[in-house]
Chains A and B, each alone.
Chain A
Amino acid sequence: MVDNIVHIEQDRVTNTVSNDYPDTSISNAFRRIMISEVPSVAAEQVYIFNNTSVIQDEVLAHRIGLIPLKIDPDLLNWVDNSVDESDKFTDANTVVMTLDVSCTKNPNAPKNSTDPKELYRNSSIYARDLKFEPQGNQLENFKNPIEPADPDILLAKLRPGQEISLRIHCVLGIGSDHAKFSPVSTASYRLLPTIDIIEPIRGDDAKKFQKCFPTGVIGINNGEAFVKDSRRDTVSREVLRHEEFNGKVKLGRKRNHFIFNVESTGAMSPEEIFFKSVRILKNKAEYLRNCPIGR
């Protein structure tokens, strides 16, 4: 079924080619699950102690919520909402991070400088300024350091005298609740394009034919065009605009060959997200199978 993996780019993007795959309804289920039902960790509560910056509390909290965090979701349990507020968050289900920054003047700033980065210290607050605060035995349980997936996300800008002091609780969630919990930036699939050359294309026409497609799609052997790699075709259908190729080429798609493009936000590898989507669909089917049918 999954015939060949064309490439997995380190950490972020996967292109998975699946052959003899039954149907779009199944592929689409995986795509939908990857976007909205694979759990991941994001900031859910932001407790603001002091915020004298120009950015409002709720806007800052929203920005913090959207930062992708490098936390393996398997290491956390779900927060039980039936439990009383004071006992709800434990070291088993919550990751605590803090942000304590204040902006000051830089006494060594070069004269006549107008750049805030030189004039002030801490004038820009980035995601890297969030510091993990281990609770209980989290230091032993989490092997990798807890940090934002991208350290360079700008959160706020400060001027001398302004400060931000806050504490965030990060919990498990799913994308259908809020997009910040989605483990993927994009997850999509497409069908493998096919190019059939019905009549041989030779000479100058072959060169022109080659130029109708992105590089690498069409090769030329002894002056005759042949299909080298139809996967690279962007399906621009440019070739159909030229009369000389009329009836010589047939463009189409392989109906059971799906190419997935999964772009992870950084918490999990794309192949792991795909695995999880398969398992979630399986769990859905098995759970429903065991439910008694009422009237």
Chain B
Amino acid sequence: MSVEEPVKDVDVSMQDDEEQEEQLDTEKIKILPGATEDGTAASFQILDEDHTLGNALRYIIMKNPDVEFCGYSIPHPSETKLNIRIQTYGDMTAVEALHKGLDDLSDMCTHIEDKFAEKINKADYPKEEP
């Protein structure tokens, strides 16, 4: 029994891991063919996103000084697919640049939200059309 029990435990935890993996959206983003060997340049395809995220993300990734190029396109208007291409100067991989871009974007949203809330709470703005 004492030998079997730990084995059981491992099984249970592995099942948990698998369940978590299933909850994650594995279809959302994938790397398109045409990435360089070292990973400094790659294209990604994101599903169910449009210009709203595409253009904002493109802008924020381009702000990264390590990124040489970032562009996006929506290959066909009736498919909800977004292709985004990232090329770096070589100091970081395209995946790292994408992740940094997403982090920067959410940090920026937090900042805008805080600043706007601060201004609203102060309520020192006129209520009528100036």
Contacts and interface: CB of A to CB of B under 8 A. Distances in A.
Majority secondary structure of chain B interface residues (helix, strand, loop or mixed): helix
A288 to B, nearest CB: 6
B68 interface: no
A242 to B, nearest CB: 27
Contacts of B103: 285, 289
A48 B112 CA distance: 46
A22 B108 contact: yes
B125 A4 contact: yes
B12 interface: no
A58 interface: no
A8 B55 contact: no
A232 interface: yes
Given A32-B51, A288-B29, A293-B31, A274 B116 contact: yes
Interface of B: 24-31, 44, 46, 49-53, 55-60, 63, 95, 99, 102-103, 105-106, 108-113, 115-117, 119-120, 125-130
Interface of A: 1-2, 4-10, 13, 15-16, 22-23, 25-26, 28-29, 32-33, 37, 229, 231-232, 271, 274-275, 278-279, 281-282, 284-295
12 contacts: A2-B112, A2-B115, A5-B125, A22-B59, A29-B55, A271-B116, A278-B109, A278-B116, A279-B109, A294-B26, A294-B30, A294-B31
